[in-house]
Homo-oligomer: A and B are copies of this chain.
Amino acid sequence: MPSQPFHGVLVPVLTPFTPSGDPDLGRFVAFCRWLLDQGAGGLSVFGTTSEANSMSSPERMALLDGLIEAGIPPGKLMPGTGACSITEAATLVRHAVGRGCGGVLLLPPFYYKGVSDDGIFAFVSGVIDKVASSALRIYLYHIPPVAQVGYSLDLVARLIKAYPETVVGLKDSSGDWNNTAALLERCPGFAVFPGSEVFLLDALRKGGAGCITASGNVNVPGIRKAYENWRGPQAETLQAEITTLRKALQAYPMIPALKRIVAHFHKDPDWARVRPPLVALDQAQSAALIAELAMLGFTLGERPRSMAA
């Protein structure tokens, strides 16, 4: 059984951009620190929510270097290292391992559609062989609603069997509880994180490791409370609370909505910026979102000193 460096509430961290559209390292460092201070179990920087694929590899590697140089513990980082080519994915993975990251989150190659399990296996295998490091811990990133290409149950089992010390977990953003449940049943000891806190309690009851969730960007405390009390008498109530907030968020384009919330509560309008092809919420959407959150009694809390621009 491999060591499992991550559990609890992991956050695919939003990436702030400057007015000229470049990644904003200062705001990024401050935000990552704030998430950890709030109790995040790890930071999946460069996930889908992070607009990672809207950044080049050099931009992603520079941000990762910047985070670590600013003192974010690399063991808490699980950077997304997905790319459509083995070459680029291996470059990103090698860089992350070299910087001491606790693990990496690996998308399957997502350009060609309808590809075979054999082809995806050869891709992951090619990346592992190129990186050739016993320190590497891969978390498979299964997000068929976006990537269209995914890791089937059989493929996951095959990868674990071939690389038991390296392929140690999976983020399941299929949105399909049956898939998460099947993974938990079939792969004991494998760290399965649902991609939404809606499935947190159900997953923990079946041996899940926590969750890696976009809404963690604005609700680490609530989700962490549900995580910590999942065996207690309040479990269902706490789960219902975080599910309610998640469902409210899901009524909006998720990434622009989360950035809008950070911008609003931290009084920092620059945070609302997204990179194309995403589009920021318009004024009406923003107002409706903030009003809805007020009705739910939601607040992000005071902006910590480290968030000052």
Interface residues of A (CB under 8 A from B): 21, 48, 53-59, 83-88, 91, 108-113, 115-116, 118-120, 122-123, 125-126, 145-149, 275-279
Contact = CB atoms under 8 A, between A and B. Distances in A.
Question: Copies of this chain, how many?
Answer: 2
Interface centre among A48, A86, A118 (most CB of B within 10 A): A86
A84 B86 CA distance: 16
Given A111-B146, A113-B148, A148-B148, A53 B275 contact: no
A283 B269 CA distance: 60
Contacts of A57: 56-57, 88
Contacts of A115: 277-279
Given A87-B59, A277-B108, A277-B123, A113 B145 contact: yes
A120 B276 CA distance: 7
Interface centre among A55, A84, A88, A118 (most CB of B within 10 A): A84
30 contacts: A21-B86, A21-B126, A53-B84, A54-B84, A54-B85, A54-B86, A54-B109, A54-B111, A55-B85, A55-B87, A56-B87, A57-B57, A57-B88, A86-B275, A86-B276, A108-B277, A110-B111, A111-B146, A111-B147, A112-B146, A112-B277, A113-B145, A113-B148, A115-B278, A116-B279, A119-B277, A120-B276, A122-B276, A122-B277, A123-B277
Contacts of A55: 85, 87
A217 B160 CA distance: 39
A52 to B, nearest CB: 9
A3 to B, nearest CB: 28
B113 A146 contact: yes
A56 B86 CA distance: 8
A148 B88 CA distance: 22
Contact of A118 (B86, B87, B123, B279): B279
A119 B71 CA distance: 35
Contacts of A112: 48, 53-54, 146, 277-278
A158 to B, nearest CB: 14
